[in-house]
Amino acid sequence: MTKQSAILSAPTSSLLIEVVNGALVIRHWGAPVLGENHDIATASRTSIANSSWDEPQFPGLMRESARGFLGRPALSGHRNGSAWSTKFEVTDFHHQVNHCAITLRDFHAQLEVSITFDLDTFGVLTQKATLKNIGDSDYVVNEFIHWLPLPQEATQTLDFAGRWSNERQPQRRDIQTGTWVRESREGRSGHNFSIADIALTAQTSFQSGSAWATSIAWSGNSHYLVERGFDGQQSIGAGELLLPGEVVLASQETYEAPTLIAVYSSQGLDGISSAFHSHLRARDSHPKRPRPLTLNMWEALYFDHDENKIKALVDVAVQVGVERVVLDDGWFHSRRNDRAGLGDWVIDPAVWPQGLTPIIEYINSKGIEFGLWFEGEMVNPDSDLYRAHPEWILHEGDRIPPLWRHQLVLDLGHESAYNHVLEQTSAVLSAHNIVYIKWDHNRTLVDAGHLGHAGVRRQTQAIYRLFAELKKRHPGLEIESCASGGARIDLGVIDYVDRFWTSDNNDALERQTIQRWTSQVIPPELLGTHIGPTHGHQTGRTLELSMRAVTALFGHAGIEWNITEATPDERKHLATWAAYYKENRALLHSGKSIRVDYPDEHGYLYGVIAKDTKKSIFAYVQLTPTGAIHPAGLKFPGLDASATYSVKAVYPAGKPRFMLISPPEWMQGITMSGSALATIGLTAPILAPANAFVIEIIKL
Ligand code: DGJ
């Protein structure tokens, strides 16, 4: 066979692929490789070690035992016990600029794998794979994992764990010999889903060092793996976690593995987030309209749907400058609390005797858009739907899964169940001026059988199909992905939705960390960030409005608070904050997000720098009481070093609570060069804990 190889290159990274002895080998994924490199294959050949193979082995990305590989293979499956071990050979290899498509076949196992690699200009690698059964008998797929090699400088991994109201908390650990697996078995991506698995060096920080990030584009069960063999080779992988028998390919059928999105950065974790953000922003489906300031009424009303209360809330929303109002849970048939009604997507005349049209018209007459809540994948046993079709739930045998928030999961794998949800939700949308839906998913899938077989994959595909169909039928409709807060935020569902509800926790102090790490992958304009009530409903904490407002500014901003209870002063501050958000959202939603490596563990310093570096908006947040008298200085990387900037503190919703006699002078305005701001910086004022303010940096 002639030599087949390809190098895919972006300004920040390269991928070098080669066919060696018929195997598909990834020689390099990392820093850009330049020049002619004919001898890389020779340079990469290992010694012949004691007690080892007589010839170097090149298992390639299929990682097969037949090619001397002793770790976890990419593909695992069988044909009624046979075809359990494969030896794929590359049979087609097409390379064009930054796209490479390869077909591998194993004529003995009668399988074909088609793999594509695409590297975009931002350094984001998209890896897809399809497995086809080219034999006559059924082939059972146990798993297919996308793997990428990791160099040995990658000594640690960073991933994210969490729970309700505390999503995406970072955990960092050393890579050691063995296979480390992070599974998500909730049937939705989950609060505990790792939105990315990132390998890094021990020194990698936000601003510097190497990082190799992977993110699996899937909302069902999944797993991330990091494996270090005793031969010293290490790799990072991810794929769908298939339940037993979930995918059985009949002759000529295919299994399309969820896509892997991967990024290498030599510029730390912010290099990773910048690449993800740019990649996501370049999608055709990325929202183009300015992100409307949103009032979600859940925490203002809960189930107390009362037209007059809503009108009063809307009247204040108008004064404040709200552009979209969302009616949350409780509007549909018999839904007076969370024990009944899910599944019956018809307006409840008991609460809405005239239907929803009058309230929508009232809201629209104020120049405000209207959005509505659904949770179409769920059903309460106390619902007309369940009474009529108890067999439409995901279940196994004659068992009923344990209840969770008094609800069960509707099996969208049943075409009739799917059509019920589609037609009922679609009818509500057709009958009203609804531009936006908040689509919730408040429980996990367990024992999730579809007609005697595992049904999570089918369910995941069904919700993607349903979202796509709703958007097709209702052009311009925006969908928010919510799942008890942020339990369905992933790069699979992202192509069907326009916003994520980041967390149910509206406590601004907690939100600081949740937003910080969710934006590791997701750009801020897709993250719902709302000003919560004065006394947080989740934590009970009382926070300054200025702190809540600064926190909510860095995302798709909104309000989750009964603002009829806000004082005149608070309403005034909400209005100035809303105006500030509108004035600056173009920048906040297109610029480069920066998380400064702030040396003081008691604070965060982060911001967004406009693409042309003409304006930046930073936030300084005092999380906990400062240790020393003066917190560490504030330094601003990423500006134009030679340019001169005017810098000042701004207070979109009033001043923070200071703990000082007088604040630093610069806060009223100062002029400095980009390089001085990066190297010398500014002194930080002494704030009371849980306080924040904004720093505006404008090029002169
Ligand atoms: C969970 C969501 O995260 C909340 O915002 C709210 O929509 C409730 N569900 C409603 O039941």
Residue spans per domain, the chain: 3-39+54-280, 592-697
Whether residue 325 contacts residue 368, with contact meaning beta carbons closer than 8 Å, is answered with: yes
Atom 1 of ligand 1: nearest residue by CA position: 484
* Pocket perturbation via mutation, ligand 1, pick of 296, 297, 298, 339 by most ligand atoms within 8 A of CB: 298
Task: Report domain 592-697's class.
Answer: mainly beta
CA of 300 to the centre of ligand 1 (A): 12
Q: Is the pLDDT of residue 619 over 80?
A: yes
- With CA atoms as reference, report the closest residue to 471 among 511, 530, 426: 426
603-608 contact pairs (CB < 8 A, 24+): 603/631, 603/632, 603/684, 604/512, 604/516, 605/634, 605/635, 606/516, 606/554, 607/636, 607/695, 608/524, 608/554
CA distances (Å), origin 662, targets 373, 647, 665, 669, 689: 47, 18, 8, 15, 17
- Beta-sheet pairing, 499-501 with 527-531: parallel
Q: What letter does residue 486 receive in the DSSP assignment?
A: B
Atom from ligand 1 closest to the CA of residue 328? 7
Atom 9 of ligand 1: nearest residue by CA position: 484
pLDDT value for 38: 78
Atom from ligand 1 closest to the CA of residue 296? 5
Name residues contacting ligand 1 (CB within 6 A): 298, 328-329, 373, 440, 442, 482, 484-485, 501, 504
CA of 489 to the centre of ligand 1 (A): 15
Q: What is the tens place of the pLDDT at every residue in 550-604?
A: 999 999 999 999 999 999 999 999 999 999 999 999 999 999 999 999 999 999 9
pLDDT value for 45: 86
Residues carrying an active site annotation: 440, 504
How is the chain split among helix, strand and coil, in percent rounded to 5? 20, 35, 45
Residue 413 contacts by C-beta under 8 Å, 6 or more apart in sequence? 394, 450, 451, 455, 458, 459, 462
Tokens of 362: 């009232």
| Cβ-based burial of 538 (10 A; exposed 0-12, middle 13-18, buried ≥19) | middle
pLDDT value for 3: 64
Cα–Cα dist 656/658, whole Å: 6
Atom from ligand 1 closest to the CA of residue 482? 3
Atom 6 of ligand 1: nearest residue by CA position: 298
CA of 194 to the centre of ligand 1 (A): 21
Whether residue 519 contacts residue 527, with contact meaning beta carbons closer than 8 Å, is answered with: yes
* Pocket perturbation via mutation, ligand 1, pick of 165, 373, 561 by most ligand atoms within 8 A of CB: 373
Whether residue 470 contacts residue 176, with contact meaning beta carbons closer than 8 Å, is answered with: no
Instruction: Give percent of the chain with pLDDT exceeding 90.
Output: 97
Cα–Cα dist 376/439, whole Å: 7
Q: Residue 615 in 3-state DSSP?
A: strand
End-to-end CA distance of the chain: 61
Atom 10 of ligand 1: nearest residue by CA position: 329
Cα–Cα dist 381/403, whole Å: 9
Looking at 494-564, which runs of residues are DSSP E strands?
A: 499-501, 527-531, 556-559
Task: Provide the whole-model pTM.
Answer: 0.98
Cα–Cα dist 596/583, whole Å: 24
- With CA atoms as reference, report the closest residue to 286 among 615, 556, 518, 485: 556
Atom from ligand 1 closest to the CA of residue 405? 11
| Mean local confidence (pLDDT), 179-206 | 98
CA of 533 to the centre of ligand 1 (A): 16
CA of 394 to the centre of ligand 1 (A): 22
Looking at 267-396, which runs of residues are DSSP E strands?
A: 294-296, 324-327, 369-374, 378-379
| Amino acid letter for position 518 | T
CA of 440 to the centre of ligand 1 (A): 7
Tokens 């509007």 locate to: 331
Atom 11 of ligand 1: nearest residue by CA position: 329
Q: Residue 43 in 3-state DSSP?
A: helix
Task: Report domain 3-39+54-280's class.
Answer: mainly beta
* Pocket perturbation via mutation, ligand 1, pick of 484, 488, 505 by most ligand atoms within 8 A of CB: 484
Tokens of 329: 């849970």
CA of 10 to the centre of ligand 1 (A): 41
| Mean local confidence (pLDDT), 466-481 | 98
pLDDT value for 69: 97
| Mean local confidence (pLDDT), 31-51 | 88
Atom from ligand 1 closest to the CA of residue 483? 3
* Pocket perturbation via mutation, ligand 1, pick of 329, 503, 505 by most ligand atoms within 8 A of CB: 329
Q: Is the pLDDT of residue 2 over 60?
A: no
Task: Work out the pLDDT band at 35, boundaries 50, 70, 90.
Answer: confident
Mean pLDDT score across all residues of the chain: 97
